[in-house]
C-alpha cells in the first residue's frame, strides 16, 4: 500500500486560533476564532463548519457571527459529548482545526426587502444570531424585524448582554419568554408559541425564520400557519448527525435530501410532506 500526501483533499484542515472565549451559561461557551494567515472564512449566515479537536474528532457547529464581522468568527458550543466537551477545555491562544464552511445558509437575497419574524428556541439562537447580526449590520435592506426567543429558564439565556441591547433598539421588536421563571424574572413566562398570537404582521411580506429543537417546530409551525404566513415564506434550520459535510457519508440524509448540502436551512414548502423532516 502506497501513501501520498495530497493537496486537494476535502479533508484538509485550516488551522484556527482561539482569540477569546466566554462562558455564556453552565453548558454553553462562546469562541472567537481567527484562521491562520488572516484567511477569511467567507461564510453565509446560517452555514456551519466542522470543528476538529485532534485525537477526539470533529463536530458540526453553526457559525453564530455575521459575515459582516471581518477577521474572525464566533461559535457558540454546548457541551454535549466528546468533541464539544473537549472544546470547552480550550482557552484563548489554543489552536483548533476548521473545515468548511458547509451547507446552504439563510436565503439573504430573498429575505431582503421583507419583514423578518425570527423565532429561536434554546440553542437555536446560535445559528439565528448570524442572521440577526447580518440584518442589523444591513438594517436598511430589511423591513420590520421581530425576534421571538424562548428558553427553559432565565439561567439558560444565551448572549444575555446582547439581548438587553435588542430590547432597547427602536428598529427591532424583541420578545423573550422562559418556560419556568425564577423570582427575579419580569418577562414573559410560557412556551414560545404564546408569544406569536400577539405579534402584528403583514403576512404577505413577512418571512418567518425558525430555529430550534425538533419538538418546537411542530407547535411554532401551527401558529405561523394560523397567522396565514404562506408556506414558502417559512424558513427552518435542521440539525442532523453529520460526519463529512459534503453529501457523501450519508449520516445527515432526510429522505432524498442531504441536510449538510441541501440544508441545514430549508424552505418549509419544500419539505412539509417529508415525514423524516418534521
Q: Does 82 bind ligand FAD (CB under 6 A)?
A: yes
**228: its cell numbers:** 396565514
Q: Does 104 bind ligand FES (CB under 6 A)?
A: no
Residue with C-alpha cell 451559561? Answer: 25
Residues 109, 7: Cα–Cα separation, whole Å: 34
- Interacting positions 205-264 with ligand FAD (CB under 6 A): 239-242, 264
| Listed ranges 13-21, 81-89, 133-141, 143-151: which one lies at the site for ligand FAD (CB under 6 A) | 81-89
Q: Does 21 bind ligand FAD (CB under 6 A)?
A: no
Residues 150, 259: Cα–Cα separation, whole Å: 24
Q: Does 173 bind ligand FES (CB under 6 A)?
A: no
Q: Which is nearer to another protein, 173 or 240 (CB)?
A: 240
CA neighbours closer than 13 Å in the CB half-sphere of residue 238: 23
Contacting positions for another protein (CB under 8 A): 1-13, 15, 52, 54-58, 78, 80-81, 84, 95, 97, 213-214, 239-241, 243-244, 246-251, 253-256, 275-276
Cα 93 to Cα 16, 23, 60, 188, distances in angstroms: 10, 16, 22, 40
Minimum Å gap between C-beta 11 and ligand FES is 12
Binds 61, which of ligand FAD, another protein, ligand FES, none (CB < 5 to 8 A, cut-off by type)?
ligand FAD
- CB within 8 Å of 156: residues ≥ 6 apart: 25, 122, 178
Q: Does 244 bind ligand FES (CB under 6 A)?
A: yes
Residue nearest to ligand FES (CB): 260
- CB within 8 Å of 70: residues ≥ 6 apart: 40
Minimum Å gap between C-beta 103 and ligand FES is 9
Q: Which is nearer to ligand FES, 163 or 249 (CB)?
A: 249
Neighbours of 154 (CB within 10 A): 17
Residues in the chain, overall count: 278
Residues 240, 66: Cα–Cα separation, whole Å: 22
Residues 198, 260: Cα–Cα separation, whole Å: 35
Q: Does 100 bind ligand FES (CB under 6 A)?
A: no
Which positions touch ligand FAD (CB under 6 A)? 48, 57, 59-62, 76-78, 80-85, 123, 126, 239-242, 264
Which positions touch ligand FES (CB under 6 A)? 242-245, 247-252, 258, 260
Amino acid at each position: 500500500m502506497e501513501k501520498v500526501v495530497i493537496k486537494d483533499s476535502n479533508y484538509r484542515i485550516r488551522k484556527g486560533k482561539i482569540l477569546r472565549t466566554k462562558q455564556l451559561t453552565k453548558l454553553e461557551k462562546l469562541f472567537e476564532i481567527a484562521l491562520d494567515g488572516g484567511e477569511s472564512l467567507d461564510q453565509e449566515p446560517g452555514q456551519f463548519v466542522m470543528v476538529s479537536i485532534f485525537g477526539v474528532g470533529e463536530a458540526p457547529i453553526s457559525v453564530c457571527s455575521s459575515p459582516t464581522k471581518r477577521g474572525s468568527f464566533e461559535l457558540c458550543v454546548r457541551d454535549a459529548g466528546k468533541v464539544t466537551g473537549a472544546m470547552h477545555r480550550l482557552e484563548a491562544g489554543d489552536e483548533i482545526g476548521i473545515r468548511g464552511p458547509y451547507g446552504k445558509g439563510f436565503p439573504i437575497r430573498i429575505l431582503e426587502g421583507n419583514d423578518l419574524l425570527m423565532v429561536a428556541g434554546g440553542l437555536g439562537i446560535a445559528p439565528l444570531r448570524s442572521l440577526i447580526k447580518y440584518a442589523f449590520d444591513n438594517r436598511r435592506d430589511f423591513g420590520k424585524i421581530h425576534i421571538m426567543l424562548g428558553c427553559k429558564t432565565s439561567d439558560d439565556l444565551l448572549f444575555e448582554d446582547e439581548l438587553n441591547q435588542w430590547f432597547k433598539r427602536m428598529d427591532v421588536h424583541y420578545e423573550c419568554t422562559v418556560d419556568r421563571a425564577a423570582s427575579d424574572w419580569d418577562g414573559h413566562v410560557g412556551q414560545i408559541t404564546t408569544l406569536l398570537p400577539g405579534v402584528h404582521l403583514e403576512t404577505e411580506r413577512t418571512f418567518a425564520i425558525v430555529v430550534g429543537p425538533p419538538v418546537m417546530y411542530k407547535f411554532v409551525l401551527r401558529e405561523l400557519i394560523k397567522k396565514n404566513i404562506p408556506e414558502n415564506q417559512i424558513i427552518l434550520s435542521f440539525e442532523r448527525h453529520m460526519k463529512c459535510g459534503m453529501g457523501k457519508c450519508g449520516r445527515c440524509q432526510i429522505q432524498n435530501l442531504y441536510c449538510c448540502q441541501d440544508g441545514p436551512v430549508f424552505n418549509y414548502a419544500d419539505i412539509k410532506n417529508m415525514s423524516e423532516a418534521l
